Structure 1
């Protein structure tokens, strides 16, 4: 919980990653390069006085979650998985490991599952049973995160799988909300670090050399698919509109930087589409006016009850983002253009909306009451 001068805010972080990218788990040079890129982005985005060591960043531990997430004003968090088993021997951020970490902190973490594009329809078999057995409240669907592995959102089998998963309890689908920043054409400029910041990060010594041999990196296993790496994301908004209209009880969550802001705002016409603010909250420090303008446009389009707080930990530790969202005011250049965020809106974004979508019980009176039309399963 975060206590400001005027109110106490319950915080539910809708995007936390618990991964193992340590050298012993890297399945070759591509896995090493992937972790190195994430660490470079962490240095650009985190902006806190005490820097995280490269080895500590590569493998999230229970101690790290306790210190940086629970100790960073977060009451509950959703662990988002990403397997990437071509790049990592035991998987990068698998649900099985999340379950073990959640047992260390009873009542703190909610689990999500994954629809892996590399496995296609065959990999989705038995997903509904896994949802029930592990109490998975949502699914992470990256339409593409490696070359040659893409799931068109118009696939009939995908619609059937998501419908069965929703009936089993996974009512939320995060689309492409992974640790990799979008890099395809049209990504909003406010989500891209400034050139000076990139140059400063590049000037620092790299923890991982480019040659990245698996034996030298600590793994005795042979290289698997060394030429493959995480690919670009992105999806067809038309296919998403059709999918969301066909599954009104499934709540779709999109990253704020997944497409141009104007295109994302047009999707607000679908009542079961929500926005995760992870990239935008980090962007408010990188490009103050442009990111604030995008925030104002998304507020007008989606309203405060369809926006979720997320840190993307360990890319960014959540404490600073929580404080900055509570203290957020539109810059002078935009004064009067957008209505200021009030405490009701802050309660909703910081915790109320994610708690509602993921069926997380909160103390009575912790957040303002939500309109009945926004209850889960009602096309909220």
Structure 2
């Protein structure tokens, strides 16, 4: 919980990872390229006092994660969103067993989401079923630009992707988190395009599609899709640190999101260990859209509370103490709001 000016905020960090990018786990030069790109994001977008050394950035471990996220970071609950990247790392980038074990030992604080790659075909479906039987996860994190053999990406609208979504439906895995944001070396930028989200959201209306990184640098494309598809949500991972380096750009991001999809479908994320949640939460609670950006309304405390935790808590059935709920929490909508949002019927 975070407290400021008499207001208490229930915090859900909807996107964290426990990774191992140490040289002994790197399969090839691409493993080093990937973590180096991560470190560049960390170094260039973080306040100087929040920057880590390169060596400590390669691997954190569960003990440090618990301290950074919960003891120091104000977070009440966090959700693992692992990336496998088996072509680059021997045991994978996100450490499945370690992350799942940590979540199993701390269920009141951690939720473990898993991952799959539809290019593994039937064998991958068998693996998904077995993993779900063991772990019982409610969500998955997909990396559409991940390499697999000679393939350098896939689309959510591919035939095999549909087979996996159908299986998710059968297993009760409702929350599909998809990396649709800035590219990471050496992955291909176009493989993160948001267009395929529109396709699957229309065909799987009973699943939630959480677009991580809100489609950056394709924010406009994301907004036009998400305003039409009420089961599409925005995750703020990677967008959040611009609150430090480019506050007016962040104001544009959050202002556009609230205008198009409303505060009920936006989720806070630190993307730990790219960044730690403490300073992001502090900055967001203090943040206000500049007065001269008159196309956007001011951010309210209620909006910030929803974004910082109540929205993700609702999606994942995370208990929220009564005193930290909003009076109208049971009425939070997941579809279009009027009149603050874009009225596309009027545009047409």
In the alignment, structure 1 residue 59 sits paired with structure 2 residue 59: yes
Could you tell me whether the CA contact under 8 Å between 2:121 and 2:160 is conserved in 1?
no
Relative to structure 1, the CA distance from residue 114 to residue 315 in structure 2 (aligned partners, 3 Å threshold; closer, same or farther) is same
Could you tell me whether the CA contact under 8 Å between 1:117 and 1:142 is conserved in 2?
no
TM-aligned CA deviation for residue 250 of structure 1:
0.7
Relative to structure 1, the CA distance from residue 29 to residue 315 in structure 2 (aligned partners, 3 Å threshold; closer, same or farther) is same
* More moved, 129-138 vs 230-239: 230-239
In the alignment, structure 1 residue 5 sits paired with structure 2 residue 5: yes
Which one of 149, 172, 177 corresponds to residue 174 of structure 1?
177
TM-aligned CA deviation for residue 235 of structure 1:
4.7
User: What's the Cα RMSD here?
Assistant: 2.3
Cα deviation digits, residues 223-264 of structure 1 (max 9, x gap): xxxxx9444354554532221111111111112243422211
TM-aligned CA deviation for residue 2 of structure 1:
0.4
Quote the residue 1:258 is aligned against: 216
Which one of 260, 264, 274 corresponds to residue 315 of structure 1?
274
Quote the residue 1:219 is aligned against: none
Cα deviation digits, residues 13-57 of structure 1 (max 9, x gap): 011011011122111322122222222221112224153222221
Unpaired segments of 5 or more residues in structure 2? 336-348
Quote the residue 2:319 is aligned against: 361
Query: For the residues of structure 2 that align with 1:279 and 1:104, how far apart are their CA atoms?
Result: 28
Question: What SS is found at the alignment partner of 1:158?
Answer: helix
1:329-348 mapped onto 2 (5 Å cutoff): 329-334=288-293, 336-348=294-306
Quote the residue 1:161 is aligned against: 164
Relative to structure 1, the CA distance from residue 119 to residue 244 in structure 2 (aligned partners, 3 Å threshold; closer, same or farther) is same
TM-aligned CA deviation for residue 11 of structure 1:
0.5
Relative to structure 1, the CA distance from residue 274 to residue 301 in structure 2 (aligned partners, 3 Å threshold; closer, same or farther) is same
Could you tell me whether the CA contact under 8 Å between 2:17 and 2:273 is conserved in 1?
yes
TM-score, length-normalised on structure 1?
0.80
Quote the residue 1:247 is aligned against: 204
TM-score, length-normalised on structure 2?
0.86
Relative to structure 1, the CA distance from residue 173 to residue 361 in structure 2 (aligned partners, 3 Å threshold; closer, same or farther) is same
Could you tell me whether the CA contact under 8 Å between 2:243 and 2:284 is conserved in 1?
no
In the alignment, structure 1 residue 76 sits paired with structure 2 residue 40: no
Which one of 295, 298, 315 corresponds to residue 257 of structure 2?
298
Query: For the residues of structure 2 that align with 1:233 and 1:95, how far apart are their CA atoms?
Result: 27
| Bigger RCO (CA 8 Å, 6+ sep) | 1
TM-aligned CA deviation for residue 294 of structure 1:
2.4
1:146-225 mapped onto 2 (5 Å cutoff): 146=147, 148-176=151-179, 181-182=182-183
* More moved, 317-326 vs 167-176: 167-176
Question: What SS is found at the alignment partner of 1:256?
Answer: helix
Cα deviation digits, residues 164-216 of structure 1 (max 9, x gap): 21342321111116xx8337xxxxxxxxxxxxxxxxxxxxxxxxxxxxxxxxx
Could you tell me whether the CA contact under 8 Å between 1:289 and 1:333 is conserved in 2?
no
Query: For the residues of structure 2 that align with 1:164 and 1:304, how far apart are their CA atoms?
Result: 30
Quote the residue 2:340 is aligned against: none
Quote the residue 1:371 is aligned against: 331
* More moved, 58-67 vs 149-158: 149-158
